[in-house]
């Protein structure tokens, strides 16, 4: 077994590279370069595949394990192929994958710096960079990595609950609590309410116009009705780039509605505004782009769309929080 671990005295990473090559050679036999997806000859359902899997008391040689893993790679999508146009899932860069794989050898625990060293600085640095990109004072902001876009929405609603009741983490939820999203919002907006004990039905969906943008008049009316009914609003989740239409809601106008209602009803808390921008955040990179000179020579149509999206997402600074998925438009592996 010792050969499967790094030498504690003289680390030699050649074994790591050898095993990587060994696995790659086994996967490659299933790959066809001209196809966006790894062809599959598997006909069994999962139940049938599981019948073949049993824990061996005598162990199993690595070559056999790699062969079986390679067999299961059938059906994988090769995101680097120009024909892979499913969802928003660009290929991961080689450097990003190298860093992820390499530091996995040290199994850093992102929850504490004792076992992670100064690698946690990278998280702080990324939060700072994103804050600067969004036009937010990084010294007054905070952020952290989560397990995905769904988690960014869960955290936003959770923080909204803390505004309503700072001690809810100890005493639990109390009273009628609602959140708001649009009909174009991701299904996880309601699922997050389920996970947090608010309930799916209490994620109120607001209609949208033909462009998929939230109906501001309806939003204000429904929020006012909820407040008058004694309900408390934990979070208003607005779209910062939807999966299908890349719709970005008017963030500042939503914030203005929230502020008007807080003043009108003398609320002792401020409902949180979260931008589900796990896709559209990347448009912030164009905030300093010279659209007049157009140095990248974008077509007129593309240029207009980029400028429109940039102006919309630049209002993200009026929200309380926003989400970023690096595995979507950041070229990083899940």
Over residues 28-82, the pLDDT tens digits come to: 999 999 999 999 999 999 999 999 999 988 888 999 999 999 999 999 999 999 9
Let me know if residue 10 belongs to a domain: yes
CA distance 234 to 174: 12
In terms of Cβ atoms closer than 10 Å to its own Cβ (0-12, 13-18, 19+), residue 332 is middle
Let me know if residue 96 belongs to a domain: no
- Mean pLDDT in residue range 118-144: 95
CA nearest neighbour of 272 among 312, 233, 317, 313? 233
Per the document, the length of the chain is: 334
The number of angstroms, rounded, from the C-alpha of 330 to the middle of its chain's C-alpha atoms is: 10
Residues 6+ apart with CB under 8 A from 74: 30, 38, 39, 40, 41, 42
Residue 87 pLDDT: 79
CATH number of the domain within which 76 lies? 1.20.1650
Same domain, 237 and 140: yes
Same domain, 298 and 176: yes
CATH number of the domain within which 204 lies? 3.40.640.10
CA distance 190 to 254: 19
Same domain, 80 and 183: no
* pLDDT grade for 1, boundaries at 50, 70 and 90: confident
H helices, E strands: number in the chain = 12, 5
CA distance 110 to 202: 33
- Mean pLDDT in residue range 95-106: 92
Contact 41, 74 (CB under 8 A): yes
- Mean pLDDT in residue range 296-315: 97
Residue by residue, DSSP assigns 214-228 as: B-HHHHHHHHHHHHH
CA nearest neighbour of 219 among 172, 263, 251? 251
Same domain, 176 and 275: yes
Same domain, 22 and 136: no
CA distance 265 to 190: 26
User: Where among 26, 60, 86 does a domain terminate?
Assistant: 86
* pLDDT grade for 12, boundaries at 50, 70 and 90: confident
The domain total for the chain is 2
- Token code pair at residue 303: 């240029």
Contact 196, 155 (CB under 8 A): no
User: Where among 30, 59, 86 does a domain terminate?
Assistant: 86
User: Where among 26, 54, 86 does a domain terminate?
Assistant: 86
- Token code pair at residue 138: 């990084």
Could you list the residue range(s) of the whole structural domain that residue 238 is in?
Answer: 126-329
Beta partners for 321?
274
Would the pLDDT of 11 be above 80? Answer: no
> How many Cβ atoms sit within 10 Å of the Cβ of residue 277?
27
Same domain, 225 and 324: yes
Residue 332 pLDDT: 92
Same domain, 140 and 240: yes
Same domain, 182 and 294: yes
Residues 6+ apart with CB under 8 A from 319: 238, 251, 255, 273, 274, 275
CA nearest neighbour of 307 among 325, 285, 329, 324? 285
Let me know if residue 176 belongs to a domain: yes
Chain segment 195-223, per-residue pLDDT in tens: 999 999 999 999 999 999 999 999 999 99
Let me know if residue 120 belongs to a domain: no
Chain segment 152-175, per-residue pLDDT in tens: 999 999 999 999 999 998 988 888
């Amino acid at each position: 077994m010792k050969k499967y671990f790094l030498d504690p005295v003289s680390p030699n990473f050649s074994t790591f590279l050898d095993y990587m090559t060994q696995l790659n050679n086994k996967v490659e036999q299933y790959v066809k370069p001209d196809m966006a997806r790894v062809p599959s000859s598997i006909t069994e359902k999962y139940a049938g595949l599981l019948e073949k899997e049993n824990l061996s008391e005598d162990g199993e040689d690595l070559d056999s394990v790699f062969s079986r893993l390679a067999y299961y790679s059938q059906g994988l999508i090769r995101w680097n192929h120009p024909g892979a146009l499913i969802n928003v899932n660009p290929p991961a860069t080689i450097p990003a994958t190298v860093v992820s794989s390499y530091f996995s050898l040290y199994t850093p625990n992102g929850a504490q710096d004792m076992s992670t060293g100064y690698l946690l600085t990278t998280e702080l640095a990324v939060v700072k960079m994103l804050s600067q990109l969004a036009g937010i004072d990084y010294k007054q902001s905070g952020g952290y990595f989560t397990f995905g876009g769904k988690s960014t929405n869960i955290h936003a609603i959770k923080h909204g609950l803390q505004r309503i009741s700072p001690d809810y983490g100890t005493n639990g939820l109390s009273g009628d609590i609602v959140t708001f999203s649009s009909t174009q919002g991701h299904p996880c907006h309601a699922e997050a309410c389920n996970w947090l004990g608010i309930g799916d039905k209490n994620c109120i969906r607001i209609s949208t116009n033909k462009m998929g943008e939230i109906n501001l008049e309806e939003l204000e009316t429904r929020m006012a009705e909820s407040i008058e009914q004694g309900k408390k609003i934990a979070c208003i989740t607005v779209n910062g780039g939807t999966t299908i239409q890349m719709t970005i809601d008017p963030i500042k106008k939503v914030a203005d509605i929230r502020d008007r209602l807080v003043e009108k009803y003398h609320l002792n808390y401020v409902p949180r505004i979260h931008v589900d921008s796990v896709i559209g955040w990347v448009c912030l990179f164009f905030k300093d782009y010279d659209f007049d000179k157009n140095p990248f020579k974008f077509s007129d149509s593309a240029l207009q769309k980029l400028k429109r999206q940039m102006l919309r997402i630049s209002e993200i600074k009026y929200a309380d929080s926003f989400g970023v998925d690096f595995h979507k438009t950041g070229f990083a592996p899940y």
